[in-house]
Structure 1
Amino acid sequence: MTANRLAASIFSFFAASGLVCTAAYAASPVKIGLIQPLTGSVAYNGQADVNGAKLAVAVINKAGGVLGHPLELTIEDGQCNPANTVNAAEKLVQKDKVSALIGAFCSSATAAIMPVAQKYRIPLLTGVSSEADLTEKGNPWFFRAAETDQLLARSFAPTLIRTLSLKRVAYVGVNDDWGRGGVQAFQQALQAGGVQTASTDYFDHGATDFYTLLAKLRASGADGLFVAAETQDGSTLVKQLKELGLNIKVFGVGSWATSDFIDLAGPAAEGVYAAVPYASTLATPENSAFVNSYTTVYKAPPGKYGAAGYNAVEIMAAAIQRAGSTDADRIRAALLQTDYQAPNGRYRFTAKGQAYGFSLVLVQIHNKVPQVVATTTVGAPH
């Protein structure tokens, strides 16, 4: 389906459901700027985040909007490129006059706009970027409604070691802040559990040829492969892995539990383990309602990025409502008071802006379904 046809079908659903605002209601909106990668190798995932964000806006506006006004998203394509993301943030703040920013998916891109948020004193919330140091930079305008790589590694390394009988693991990650951070976090956690490192390799976004890397993997003697990758790169890697007949246990972080990855990878997705903050198969009433709504609109169940976009908009909109104003200082103070029941748990923030209280999930892809293997909850940091 083309982007125009998809947009038309979504609009038709929203209109039929009473989720589209009238022209009179649409005056004087409360504006939130959203920066996601909509082109490039991470576009599948960025678009999923936007889909979730749009669904949240529709739900919020059907319930009366924010501060008696409709909520409006102004969306920019940051391409997961730090320079492009900074340009997008500057436009959203200076030209579009948004009251808050959400973005920017890749940790390196989010890190690039954190100084922009601080310069203009505007709240910035990411629902995706998981590089741990982001909330250690002392930026009072930055909030993260997502897990960190270390949290995932500490939570699930023991289960992976036990379930997969891991002895020697090879590590592969995309060569950016997130990929390197994910490899480092899981490598440390698995080594602490007695697992040896067979090899460590990185690839660039948009890579299409993993054969040389996989040949090295074959010679390494690894019995497990950890991968930090998003939809396009990850699906290409596992398909080439299967093509070469490598019998190795695959697990990792990224987009493994999403319908886009499962569809693109095809049979190669079978058996892959993923450590994620969200899976559509989570058994909670809030998640059942969210999955039904999302699937009705987008004809596929949500993955972690659809949930991330939905949660981020809900959290920011609720903070603006609590603030009683679009004043940035009041919104920032209201974000610190967040207590949001999401499809995947309860979100609250530490003084550093790190969310806690939500679920983390280890899943295995079986018959195209991310089946839950283990769950845990992110506790408040000590």
Structure 2
Amino acid sequence: MLKKVLSLVMILSLASASLVGCGKSGDTQTGGKNEDVIKLGAVFPLTGDVAAMGQSCKNALQMLEEETNKSGGVNGKKIQFVFEDDENKPASSANVIQKLINQGKVVGVVGSYSSKCSISMAPIATSSKIPMISLGTNPKITTDGGEYVFTSTFNDTFQGTILAKVASEDLKAKTAAVLYDVGNDYCKGLSEFFKSNFEKIGGKVVAAETYNAGDQDFSAQLTKIKGLNPDIIVLPDYYSTVALITKQARSLGITSTFVGGDGWDAPELFKIGGDSVNGSYFSNFFSKDDTTPAFLKFKDSFNKKYNQVPDAIAASAYNAGSLLIDAVKKAGSTDGDKVKDALKNTDSEGVAGHIKYDSNRNAIMSGVVIKIEDGKQVFVKKINP
């Protein structure tokens, strides 16, 4: 009987040792087994009010995955982007990043598209020591998110400067009104950064009106603005809401020039807004007329695969995914600390331009000004940080 007990103890000890041996730090694991796949999370609004943006991001990363694996993968392994839908809702984004980390065993995350969702995700990434690269522009993403959180786009402190320069230099505006979603970090932050920069260079913000997410009728706010007759109206929101506002404004007889940020960049802007958005200006990460070799290669590949020209958010997603993959290569590991340190030292040329990081892990990069003419985007100028 004693021999049987001792034999059973030895068998259990050997089994336990073998299981511990499988769990090496920095390896991608599922069910305790090492895999020849490096899993990267991707959180985007695949449904909801800005689903067009989320789909652009997904298309870009799926193409990047194919290209990377065809060229030999990363450190001898293939990569796989695991996509989750946050519906452009902060609560959903927090849930899905936890799912990706705890169940999906991802070693890094790209996303989300919006600032409000990225702000919700960021502390979770840092507490789990999982590097995350956001496409959002609000400074809170990195400052509140912690040391594992980076961005692949310029932030709104710089974007606010761009919009103020457009207003003053290109449009010769002296007065401006701002209309924004009071509950959205991106909209609120960009409006504040525009206001402070515009006033610094001598402009006057004569009205700052707000609305709530999901609102469809903006006539009350627009009527107030009409009475003040500002030179420009700044709309720091996403394409779907912007198009509704511009149509209602024109129907009320408002003739002010509309100005906005990167959230405008979607074909649906003109499809919904029609002629009401013609003559408007907005800031963006890059122009579709960019002629750099990196972008032209990306543009050609994207067009062949999806039969469409990529928008700026697709380029930003591709940039973010590339930065994360390159960091894993340079680190020679999927260990979170090593990948984070590799990201900090980024200094490279991507499809959306040259990028490196400041001390808060915000991307330092140029911005462009786009004008909408006859339903098409026309490059105006580039503004360097």
Q: TM-score, normalised by structure 2?
A: 0.86
* Counterpart residue type for residue 112 of structure 2: A
The counterpart of 2:243, out of the listed 210, 231, 235, is 235
Instruction: Give me the whole-angstrom Cα distance separating, in 2, the residues matched to 1:238 and 1:297.
Output: 33
The counterpart of 1:132, out of the listed 129, 136, 139, is 139
- What is the CA deviation profile of residues 6-51 of structure 1, one whole-angstrom value per residue up to 9, with x for unaligned ones? xxxxxxxxxxxxxxxxxxxxx7321100111122212222222222
Partner of 2:190: 182
Instruction: Give me the whole-angstrom Cα distance separating, in 2, the residues matched to 1:260 and 1:138.
Output: 31
Instruction: Give me the whole-angstrom Cα distance separating, in 2, the residues matched to 1:319 and 1:361.
Output: 27
After TM superposition, where is structure 1 displaced by more than 3 Å over at least 4 residues in a row? none
Partner of 1:69: 77
Instruction: Give me the whole-angstrom Cα distance separating, in 2, the residues matched to 1:345 and 1:312.
Output: 12
Q: Go from structure 1 to structure 2 and tell me whether the alpha carbon gap of 1:29 and 1:347 turns closer, same or farther (over 3 Å shift).
A: same
Partner of 1:253: 261
1:312 deviates by 0.7
1:283 deviates by 2.7
Which shifted more, 166-175 or 312-321? 166-175
- What is the CA deviation profile of residues 204-250 of structure 1, one whole-angstrom value per residue up to 9, with x for unaligned ones? 33332222222222112212100111121112222222333321111
Verify the 8 A CA contact 2:155 2:362 in the aligned structure 1.
Answer: no
Identity of aligned residues (%): 25
- How many residues of Structure 1 are paired with residues of Structure 2 in the alignment? 350
Verify the 8 A CA contact 1:281 1:370 in the aligned structure 2.
Answer: no
Partner of 1:30: 38
Q: Go from structure 1 to structure 2 and tell me whether the alpha carbon gap of 1:95 and 1:67 turns closer, same or farther (over 3 Å shift).
A: same
Instruction: Give me the whole-angstrom Cα distance separating, in 2, the residues matched to 1:95 and 1:138.
Output: 22
Verify the 8 A CA contact 2:107 2:334 in the aligned structure 1.
Answer: yes
Q: Are residues 1:317 and 2:312 paired?
A: no
SS of match in other structure, 2:192: helix
Instruction: Give me the whole-angstrom Cα distance separating, in 2, the residues matched to 1:263 and 1:113.
Output: 32
Instruction: Give me the whole-angstrom Cα distance separating, in 2, the residues matched to 1:375 and 1:345.
Output: 11
Partner of 1:148: 155
Instruction: Give me the whole-angstrom Cα distance separating, in 2, the residues matched to 1:59 and 1:173.
Output: 39
Instruction: Give me the whole-angstrom Cα distance separating, in 2, the residues matched to 1:352 and 1:242.
Output: 41
1:108 deviates by 2.2
* Counterpart residue type for residue 237 of structure 2: A
The counterpart of 1:52, out of the listed 30, 54, 60, is 60
Verify the 8 A CA contact 1:41 1:205 in the aligned structure 2.
Answer: no
Q: Are residues 1:361 and 2:363 paired?
A: no
1:343 deviates by 2.1
- What is the CA deviation profile of residues 69-107 of structure 1, one whole-angstrom value per residue up to 9, with x for unaligned ones? 221111111122222111101100000000101112222
1:349 deviates by 1.8
Instruction: Give me the whole-angstrom Cα distance separating, in 2, the residues matched to 1:266 and 1:290.
Output: 29
Q: Go from structure 1 to structure 2 and tell me whether the alpha carbon gap of 1:242 and 1:59 turns closer, same or farther (over 3 Å shift).
A: farther
Matches within 5 A, 1:105-124: 105-124=113-132
Partner of 2:219: 211
Verify the 8 A CA contact 1:51 1:309 in the aligned structure 2.
Answer: no
SS of match in other structure, 1:266: helix
Q: CA RMSD in A?
A: 1.8
Partner of 1:331: 339
Instruction: Give me the whole-angstrom Cα distance separating, in 1, the residues matched to 2:52 and 2:252.
Output: 26
User: Considering only CA atoms, is the larger Rg found in Structure 1 or Structure 2?
Assistant: 2
Partner of 1:350: 358
Verify the 8 A CA contact 2:238 2:264 in the aligned structure 1.
Answer: yes
Partner of 1:167: 174
Verify the 8 A CA contact 2:125 2:132 in the aligned structure 1.
Answer: yes
Q: Are residues 1:158 and 2:165 paired?
A: yes
Verify the 8 A CA contact 2:122 2:142 in the aligned structure 1.
Answer: no
1:156 deviates by 4.5
* Counterpart residue type for residue 168 of structure 1: T
Instruction: Give me the whole-angstrom Cα distance separating, in 2, the residues matched to 1:173 and 1:138.
Output: 24
Q: Are residues 1:41 and 2:52 paired?
A: no
Partner of 2:27: none
1:138 deviates by 7.0
Verify the 8 A CA contact 2:258 2:277 in the aligned structure 1.
Answer: no
Instruction: Give me the whole-angstrom Cα distance separating, in 2, the residues matched to 1:71 and 1:44.
Output: 25
Verify the 8 A CA contact 2:49 2:88 in the aligned structure 1.
Answer: no
Q: Are residues 1:271 and 2:284 paired?
A: no
Q: Are residues 1:99 and 2:107 paired?
A: yes
Q: Structure 1 regions of 5+ residues with no counterpart?
A: 1-26
1:260 deviates by 2.9
Verify the 8 A CA contact 1:35 1:76 in the aligned structure 2.
Answer: yes
Verify the 8 A CA contact 1:28 1:69 in the aligned structure 2.
Answer: yes
Instruction: Give me the whole-angstrom Cα distance separating, in 1, the residues matched to 2:194 and 2:325.
Output: 34
Partner of 1:375: 382
Q: Structure 2 regions of 5+ residues with no counterpart?
A: 1-34
